[in-house]
Amino acid sequence: RCAKGITLEIPGNNHPVPVQRVTDDDLQALASVLRNAAFVTGLDLRYNALTDAGAKHMATFLQENSSLRYLNLLFNDIGTSGAELIARALHTNKTLVYLRMTGNKIGNEGGMFFASMLEINSTLEKLDLGDCDLGTKCLIAIATALTRNGSVKAINLNRPLLYSQEEVTTVHIALMLKNNSSLVELHLCKHEMKNFGLERLCEALYENSSLRYLDLGCNKITRDDVKFLAELLKQNQTLEVLDLSANRIEDDGAIYLSEVLTFYNRTLQALSVVSNNISGKGLVALSDAMQKNTELSYIYIWGNKFDEAACMAFSELIHTGRLKLNCTDVKPYEVDGHVHLAELSHGLRKHYYWTPSCGEVMNKDANASLAIVAVSEY
């Protein structure tokens, strides 16, 4: 629910209470009921059974409706033709602010229709095309469109299907970042990003003054590659959230980052180095950086190699109040006089694929990025 209207939530994955999933025919009936319901500003249809036929009803609804600002179609069965219909509807729609197509296998061709839409639409602020089987051509086309698009503030391009090791898509995204002055949040998980691509990306970010949230999780970033990020953070005055989860920066990479955070950078607020093969030496360096850098408030470290020194260091940060429990994913406990760390279900985006069946959906502890970088009201 928001101040201007209500969000109608009809998810198809409510485990505690078995639900009937919304079908294409159901959506046609729902759309006819909602056509004049101006108080409904959000529609959540994640994990249902909508296909391209349902996308046709949704496209018609988007062309006729003038109140819907948020549409979540996460993990339905919409394909290329459905993507074309929805993208074309957004050529004329002037209301929708946030669209989630996550997990619909629209492919490279479907992604091309969204790239064309971004050349025309000037209302959409947040677009999620993660897990959509995007290909090289449509990623280049999207990057090209975003060079000229001044309205999109957040885009998710996670897990494309790339069959080349040349990192050409990363190069085009970097070129876009040199010219784009509106993008605030960028997700590039599982892009097979390595040394060359990361260097191009960092070079571009020296010239960018709008990006505040950079997600580089699940790539092939190593300890040597982190040097490019470290040099960037010495000068960058914009980035507030950096997600390096599931890479391999190891101790050396953690030490590079900790040195920059200790002596230079005072802008970064949140850092995730979950599952990066970091041992005690690197973790202690990061905890020391937090002692000296009071701007860095959120740090996520689970999935690394905790020794007693690392456990003691983070236990001290928490017990002195320097690091709050709702700002990290570990909690100290003691057994036989030895300090250990247990995992907390906190992170930058714990509720990306799911929402809890009870309690707060937008729990700030589990979704720190929403508290730091809020893009649009949804």
Q: What crossing angle do the helices spanning 250-263 and 280-292 adopt, rounded to 10°?
A: 10
Six-digit token pair at 280? 């005690």
Over residues 46-59, the mean pLDDT reads 97
State the average pLDDT for the chain.
93
72's tokens: 């979540």
Q: What is the pLDDT, as a whole number, of residue 13?
A: 87
Residues 6 or more apart whose Cβ sits within 8 Å of residue 95: 65, 66, 67, 68, 69, 123
| Residue 255 structure tokens | 């030490």
What is the model's pLDDT at position 362? 57
Residues 131, 152: Cα–Cα separation, whole Å: 19
Q: Is the pLDDT of residue 153 over 70?
A: yes
107 or 374, higher pLDDT: 107
> In this prediction, what percent of the chain has a pLDDT beyond 90?
85
Contact yes or no for 19/34 (Cβ under 8 A): no
Residue 357 pLDDT > 70: no
Residue 237, both tokens: 């005055």
What's residue 175's pLDDT? Answer: 97
pLDDT class for 360, splitting at 50, 70, 90?
low
Q: What is the pLDDT of residue 377?
A: 55
* Average pLDDT for 288-294: 96
Q: 77: helix, coil or strand?
A: coil
As a whole number, mean pLDDT of residues 120-147 equals 97
Specify whether the CB–CB gap between 260 and 234 falls below 8 A: yes
Q: DSSP characters for 262-321?
A: HHT-----EEE--SS---HHHHHHHHHHHHH-SS--EEE-TTS---HHHHHHHHHHHHTT
Residue 215 is predicted with a pLDDT of: 97
| Residues ≥6 apart with Cβ < 8 Å to 260 | 230, 233, 234
Torsion of CA 276, 280, 283, 287, to 10 degrees: 170
What pLDDT is attached to residue 1?
41
C-alpha span between 295 and 236 (Å, rounded): 14
**R_g over Cα of the chain:** 21
pLDDT of residue 372: 81
Give, to the nearest 10 degrees, the angle between helix 107-120 and helix 80-89.
10
Pairing assessment for the beta strands 330-335 and 338-343 based on DSSP bridges = antiparallel
The pLDDT-based confidence of 376 (bands split at 50, 70, 90) is low
274, 300 Cβ separation under 8 angstroms:
yes
pLDDT at 24: 96
Residue 369: predicted pLDDT: 78
Lowest mean pLDDT of 229-238, 255-264, 352-361, name the range.
Answer: 352-361
Is 49 within 8 Å of 77 (Cβ atoms)? yes
Q: Which residue has the higher pLDDT, 370 or 326?
A: 326
Burial-class residue 71 by CB neighbours within 10 Å (0-12, 13-18, 19+): buried
**163 or 283, which is more confident?**
283
pLDDT beyond 90 at 66: no
Residue 105, C-beta contacts closer than 8 angstroms, at least 6 positions apart:
77, 79, 132, 133
Average pLDDT over residues 102-108: 97
Whether residue 351 has pLDDT greater than 90: no
* Stretch 45-55: mean pLDDT: 97
Question: What is the pLDDT averaged over residues 76-96?
Answer: 97
Rounded mean pLDDT, 148-176: 95
What local confidence, expressed as pLDDT, does residue 2 receive? 45
* Structure tokens given for 129: 């095309």
Q: Is the pLDDT of residue 122 over 80?
A: yes
- pLDDT tier at 39, thresholds 50, 70, 90: very high
d(CA 227, CA 249): 10
Confidence of residue 344 (pLDDT cuts 50, 70, 90): very high
Spell out the alpha helix ranges (H) of the chain.
Answer: 24-34, 52-64, 80-89, 107-120, 136-148, 168-179, 195-205, 226-235, 250-263, 280-292, 308-319, 368-372
Strands 40-44, 70-72: parallel, antiparallel or unpaired by DSSP?
parallel
339 membership: H or E segment, kind and range: strand 338-343
The mean pLDDT value for 71-93 works out to 97
303: left (phi over 0), alpha (psi -120 to 50) or beta: left
